[in-house]
Chains A and B, each alone.
Chain A
């Protein structure tokens, strides 16, 4: 299979079926829910996921902004091919009705109809040792993206300040980002870095904790605090408002405490493509 076909397949996989970890978290939320309306909403969500997978239909009509995170070895030989293949496969996926034309000119609103425009599809590079590459496909919906926030906190506000900022933002977002949501947090860095590591944190499977205990503990504490908001499924109240919290961090300027917050909807659609140095490809979810 060539790389363009593989990316096309990965987009289709991401759009039509959610990863197992996400399905399991929603199923457990359904089982634990005591609020009747939220339980019925979770039931519809599970029915929808099964139906979309069976019929190979988009789970949600908002097929998102096509976002690609590339973890690429310094010696990986096919960087240019991958960039070209991403753009070509996104246009093709639109043409085949796998995704909605979701990229418009910000001034005129004009829709070119192929999901390709200035800086879009969005590719974020992360270089590391090695000669292989991993491509993370993350179609990101608009409703959840609109709940993103950047807090430039005072360092004196500390970790308590971070917790309050996150609780406040999740309450502000309410039902709009299609809860139960997943919260990606980027602590430290600068304004830009905190936001990008927050979004990257969403690539981690649900239930998988950060490798450092102090960060993992904060993830669990925030998860507990956020579920006390009782936003519930689609804002109808109940036990589960947030499925998981994923935190990444970077060193910060002594005068700044940036907190990037990126929200993902329950339809946490992802796919992973591994490419080795010989060009062999594999799609996973």
Chain B
């Protein structure tokens, strides 16, 4: 099924999504890669908070190419980065910050799926490498945080998105995880391929 979602207004519709659904998101998206995830956990430990409310936004695994034109930032390319690196932190980030929508590429592991199930959230993927196309839907840079400390790929960028997608739901709120299913299937195929090699 295909759904167009407005974030944060449609946050409660997330719980009905199923693995394989295609969604388009309009609303606020914030980027966070490895360093930003670490920083989010450090801030929490110190009892400090983020300068924005991430629970009302989409967490996007992305380090964009951005260009400064006058006082404004323009997004040139903003496809997803490999999400599995964020498995190290995501379980805690989801729980602490109430994140319900994560977008990235490549799939995520069991711990992240479990945390998403608990919060009734999803992980969806955008086509890896399609950076120029993705940038089209980010028509405005709302703000940027920690740019000096983290540098532009790792900084937390807040984008205003219109119809960001197609995004394919890869982990649904029931905890179904395409990454896990496909990996199990591939392990089976590996055995078959090894048989072919042994017989050659």
Residues of A within 8 A of B (CB): 37, 40-41, 44-45, 47-48, 51-52, 55, 57-63, 97, 99-102, 104, 109-111, 113, 141-143, 146, 160, 163-164, 167-168, 171, 174-176, 178, 221, 225, 228-231, 234-237, 265-267
Q: For the complex, what is the distance from the CA of A110 to the CA of B187, rounded to whole Å?
A: 39
Per-residue interface assignment for chain B, residues 142 to 175, with 1 indicating a CB less than 8 Å from any chain A CB and 0 otherwise? 0000000011111000000000001010000000
When A40-B166, A57-B77, A229-B186 are in contact, do A265 and B196 touch as well, CB less than 8 Å? no
Sort A-B residue pairs by CB-CB distance and give the 3 closest, nearest first: A111-B151, A178-B128, A52-B132
Q: For the complex, what is the distance from the CA of A228 to the CA of B196, rounded to whole Å?
A: 11
On whether the beta carbons of B106 and A143 are closer than 8 Å, the reply is: yes
Q: Nearest CB to that of A113 among chain B residues?
A: B151
Q: For the complex, what is the distance from the CA of A235 to the CA of B80, rounded to whole Å?
A: 14
Stretch of B5-13, B44-52, B58-66, B94-102 at the chain-chain interface: B58-66
Minimal beta-carbon separation of B170 from chain A (angstroms): 9
On whether the beta carbons of B62 and A61 are closer than 8 Å, the reply is: yes
**CB < 8 Å: which of A45, A51, A146, A225 contacts B82?**
A146
On whether the beta carbons of A230 and B186 are closer than 8 Å, the reply is: yes
**CB < 8 Å: which of A52, A63, A163 contacts B197?**
A163
Minimal beta-carbon separation of B98 from chain A (angstroms): 27
On whether the beta carbons of B133 and A167 are closer than 8 Å, the reply is: no
On whether the beta carbons of B79 and A61 are closer than 8 Å, the reply is: yes
Per-residue interface assignment for chain B, residues 87 to 99, with 1 indicating a CB less than 8 Å from any chain A CB and 0 otherwise? 0000000000000
The yes or no answer to B139 lying at the interface (CB within 8 A) is no
On whether the beta carbons of A62 and B81 are closer than 8 Å, the reply is: yes
On whether the beta carbons of B189 and A61 are closer than 8 Å, the reply is: no
Minimal beta-carbon separation of A76 from chain B (angstroms): 34
On whether the beta carbons of B190 and A167 are closer than 8 Å, the reply is: yes
The yes or no answer to B15 lying at the interface (CB within 8 A) is no
Q: Nearest CB to that of A104 among chain B residues?
A: B151
**CB < 8 Å: which of B150, B168, B186, B196 contacts A225?**
B196
When A175-B107, A176-B106, A229-B189 are in contact, do A57 and B132 touch as well, CB less than 8 Å? yes
Q: For the complex, what is the distance from the CA of A131 to the CA of B78, rounded to whole Å?
A: 42
Minimal beta-carbon separation of B34 from chain A (angstroms): 8
Chain B residues within an 8 Å CB radius of A111: 150-154
From residue 1 to 48 of chain B, which have CB atoms closer than 8 A to chain A? 20, 35
**CB < 8 Å: which of B63, B82, B168, B197 contacts A176?**
B82
On whether the beta carbons of B127 and A58 are closer than 8 Å, the reply is: no
Chain A residues within an 8 Å CB radius of B134: 61
On whether the beta carbons of A97 and B106 are closer than 8 Å, the reply is: no
Chain A residues within an 8 Å CB radius of B186: 171, 174, 229-231
